[in-house]
Structures are given as structure tokens and as C-alpha cells.
């Protein structure tokens, strides 16, 4: 029945500033009115709604005000350069101090984080093929550590 995610929504303080930011990320503006804008994430498959209003003051929590965009593993390896090229600063995830992308072997994914102008948490994320003998690892690993581990397991 369910084929994918159609839409997600985030609150904004200033829609004009937010529109510029999301266009800088390469998203295409699909539709807008006075206080709402929708961007295609994947055209005719999924979009992101931005809503101007006081709700942007809602404190961040992982279950609120967060979007993860799917990218390839290679894209994620280049993500810090890309973010720098569009003048967006990555941020550490949770209690981590590093801004570098990292792998979660037990979840089979990898991420890097940044924020939009309203402090909404944004993530570039990809799937990672994890050999069965490494799926027990719960520690977040740098790409360097992950690739060293995988290359030495083969």
C-alpha cells in the first residue's frame, strides 16, 4: 500500500528567507502563496512544505522540526565540500563534536547534519550496505574508520 513519503512540513519565521535557502539547496519551488511554499524533493513524488508563522518558536526535538534528505554514499562523502560551496555550515549531531559525516552500522545508514535559517534540523542521509558481522556495532563511525573496518573485513 504505502510507496514512500509524499510530504513533510517545517515552520518558518520568514518565508522569503527560507525560500532562498531551500533554493540554494537545489530544491525546486513547486507552489507558494502568502505564507506557504512547497518545494519538490523528488518531482511529482515528494515535497516539503514551509509554513510561515509563530510555530517556528517550537523548541527543537528529534521528533519535531527535522527532515532527512536521501543522497548517495558518494554524495555524502562530498557533503562538507558541497555545503561549504553554498555557504551552509554543518553542525554536530546530538552529543558529537565533529561535523563530519558518520556511519551508523547497526542502522545501515550514514549522515551529516546542518540547519536552516529557523533552526530546523536538516540531514543528508544515505543507506549503507553493512556486512552481517558488523551490524552489531552501535558506535557512530567516521567514514575513514568505517571504510578501514570494511576494507579489512573483506
- CATH at 134: 3.30.720.110
Say yes or no: 121 and 145 in one domain: yes
| Residue 60 covered by a domain | no
Query: What's the whole-number mean pLDDT along residues 105-134?
Result: 96
Say yes or no: 80 and 135 in one domain: yes
Q: What is the pLDDT of residue 58?
A: 93
Q: What is the pLDDT of residue 154?
A: 56
Say yes or no: 83 and 21 in one domain: no
The range of the structural domain enclosing residue 114 comes to: 65-154
- Within 8 A by CB and 6+ apart from 21, the residues are 116, 117
Number of domains in the chain: 2
- Within 8 A by CB and 6+ apart from 96, the residues are 102, 140
Given a cut of 80, whether residue 130 has pLDDT beyond it is yes
Q: What is the pLDDT of residue 60?
A: 87
Query: What's the whole-number mean pLDDT along residues 100-128?
Result: 97
Say yes or no: 105 and 147 in one domain: yes
Query: What percentage of the chain has pLDDT greater than the value 70?
Result: 99
Query: What's the whole-number mean pLDDT along residues 16-34?
Result: 97
Strands (DSSP E) found in 7-147: 7-12, 28-32, 36-42, 46-52, 66-70, 90-91, 102-104, 109-115, 121-127, 141-142
Given a cut of 70, whether residue 106 has pLDDT beyond it is yes
Digit-coded pLDDT (tens) for 54-68: 999 999 888 899 999
Say yes or no: 11 and 44 in one domain: yes
Say yes or no: 50 and 91 in one domain: no
Q: Do the Cβ atoms of 122 and 154 come closer than 8 Å?
A: no
Q: What is the pLDDT of residue 80?
A: 98
Amino acid at each position: 500500500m504505502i510507496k514512500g513519503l509524499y510530504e513533510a512540513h517545517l515552520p518558518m519565521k520568514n518565508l522569503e528567507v527560507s525560500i532562498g535557502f531551500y533554493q540554494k539547496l537545489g530544491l525546486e519551488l513547486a507552489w507558494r502563496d502568502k505564507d506557504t511554499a512547497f518545494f519538490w524533493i523528488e518531482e511529482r513524488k515528494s515535497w516539503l512544505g514551509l509554513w510561515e508563522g509563530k510555530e517556528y518558536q517550537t523548541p527543537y526535538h528529534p521528533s519535531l522540526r527535522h527532515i532527512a534528505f536521501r543522497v548517495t554514499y558518494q554524495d555524502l562523502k562530498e557533503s562538507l565540500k558541497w555545503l561549504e560551496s553554498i555557504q551552509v555550515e554543518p553542525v554536530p549531531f546530538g552529543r558529537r563534536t565533529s561535523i563530519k559525516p558518520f556511519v551508523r552500522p547497526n542502522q545501515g545508514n550514514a549522515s551529516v547534519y546542518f540547519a536552516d535559517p529557523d533552526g530546523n534540523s536538516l540531514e543528508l542521509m544515505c543507506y549503507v550496505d553493512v556486512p552481517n558481522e558488523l551490524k552489531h556495532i552501535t558506535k557512530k563511525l567516521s567514514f575513514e574508520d568505517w571504510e578501514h573496518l570494511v576494507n579489512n573485513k573483506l
